[in-house]
Amino acid sequence: MKKKILFIIAAIMIISTLIRTLIITYTFLNFSNTTITNEAILIKDILTEVKDKNRFLEIIRNSQHILDVKFIPEKTKTESISFKENNKAFEVKMPFNDYETLIILFNTKDYYKKLSNAIYQLIAIAVISLIVIILTVNYFLTPYLEILENVRRSTASILKGNFNDTLDTKLKGEAKDFVDSYNTFLKKLKDSFGVIEEKYTSLIEKEKSDDPLNDAKETIEQLANIFKFKRLIEDDSSCNDVFQRLIDILNGFNLKHYALIGIDNNEKKSTLIYKNGDICCNVENEFLECRAYRLRKMINSMQYPKICKLHTCDNDYICIPYSAGGNFTGILKINMTKNDEEHINKNLPYIKAYLNELSAIIEAKYTLELLHNQTIKDPLTNTYNRRYLENILPMLINNAKRRNGKIAFLMLDIDYFKKVNDTYGHKAGDTVLKTISDIIKKSIRKSDILIRYGGEEFLIILQNVNDYDDIYKVAEKIRSSVEKTNIHIDENIIHKTISIGVSIFPDNCSEGNECIKESDIALYKAKEEGRNKIIFYKSNL
């Protein structure tokens, strides 16, 4: 900056000197023209008055600044001045009388000498003034410019996260006050940023970057988003709602290949919650061999290549367990390509922070859902129980009434089930119940409801059915599948049959309990007629 200021001062001095030189030259030449013209007029007037013109001309020619005076026989109307003899003389031409013109040649040497002296003096004064001004400005301005340069350097250091580059000056007064104020500000900024950095790094594990201020801004924004995310999922009613919000967040990070896996630690069962792209492993079915699940800690193939034997591709990957204890463990598997490694590593601390906030909440909600399911589900067959039926039955009937829809109630009983318990024991009876409940689950839609009504009885509720043929096809599919199934009891293979009674709302009944009662009546009619049958309720049964 100092060089620029001194250069500007020098440029101003040079330009002003040139302008003054041009003005002086113009003024001097104008004055010279006027002087020469006046002298020429005086000579003309004298020549007009004297009698001996030749003698007077000789006297004039002997003058130092006049080279020649002569008459030429031509008529001139106006006076004129011009340079002659390669600018060494001024020629003044003026009319003398009606038939003669007076020409006077003035020597320009003296005029140029005076002009040169004036210009040299002006330049000398300008150079001396320039030197004096530059030295003076340099002496007095340098300390202030050093302060500005140090401020520039210090601010550059601040942008890199260095708050130790303070200022120093030998100046007194206001400059000293400014330096002290700046250093005080820098110290407060350092202390404040240190506290902020300490706080956010305790929440998000991040390496220091080359741009800590922008990094802090980005991290604080992410922390605010994470806090909002936590508040939202705390109020969500189910684990599915929470996972959907997490999926939205992960998609917001532009992850191209990842999967969310949920593992029930009690049942040792896994569920693929969401998958995007290719994850290059079968962790859903082989989660017990998953290194992240076994160790309950993140694994990163960029740190330890080929760390997990389940991964089948050559690319790098990261597996992050969350909610690692209790009833539920989740695994986030991220598959990386060379093009997105930098992007994923940059956002990995934020992703981990989201998972950390989610862990406790998803564990609590999963446990609550588990407890709720225990109250509404039969633990042996994992089907709904009669308590669930009591809660949902009025809603099903009301929905059907609003839509003018039909609901089929299928009451199902295992034929001669007591013989299984008496012959093979209750454990064998449990096997039969689980086998038949699994067959029923595979034969109905997700919107249909299977309930263990009691003992060996199951109630199937088929929603939004169209006609008797559709209902019969479902019932017959279940009946024939059970009849054909080999049930393994120790070393024995047994076969069982079922009887089914069907009641249809609103064709046969107007309320839920009435429909169940009528399906039960139809069931007993099927047993009376020899079992392994399907009977639809009629009023004459």
Active centre residues (catalytic)? 456
Q: Please state, in angstroms and rounded to a whole number, the distance separating the CA atoms of residues 248 and 260.
A: 12
367: amino acid identity, one letter = T
- Which residues touch 3 (CB under 8 Å, ≥6 apart)? none
- Which residues touch 446 (CB under 8 Å, ≥6 apart)? none
User: Token match 């599948």: residue?
Assistant: 481
84: amino acid identity, one letter = K
Q: Please state, in angstroms and rounded to a whole number, the distance separating the CA atoms of residues 158 and 384.
A: 64
The DSSP H or E segment spanning 234 is: helix 212-235
Query: What CA–CA distances, in Å, run from 170 to 5, 135, 145, 165, 174?
Result: 21, 19, 13, 17, 12
Cis peptide before 506 (omega within 30 of 0): yes
* 338-367: burial string, b at 16+ Cβ within 10 Å, e else: eebeeebeebbbbbbbbbbbbbebbbbbbe
Q: Closest Cα partner for 347 from 260, 287, 281, 258? A: 258
Instruction: Judge whether 159 and 61 are in contact, CB under 8 Å.
Output: no
Q: Please state, in angstroms and rounded to a whole number, the distance separating the CA atoms of residues 335 and 279.
A: 6
Characterize the bridge pairing of strands 498-505 and 534-536.
parallel
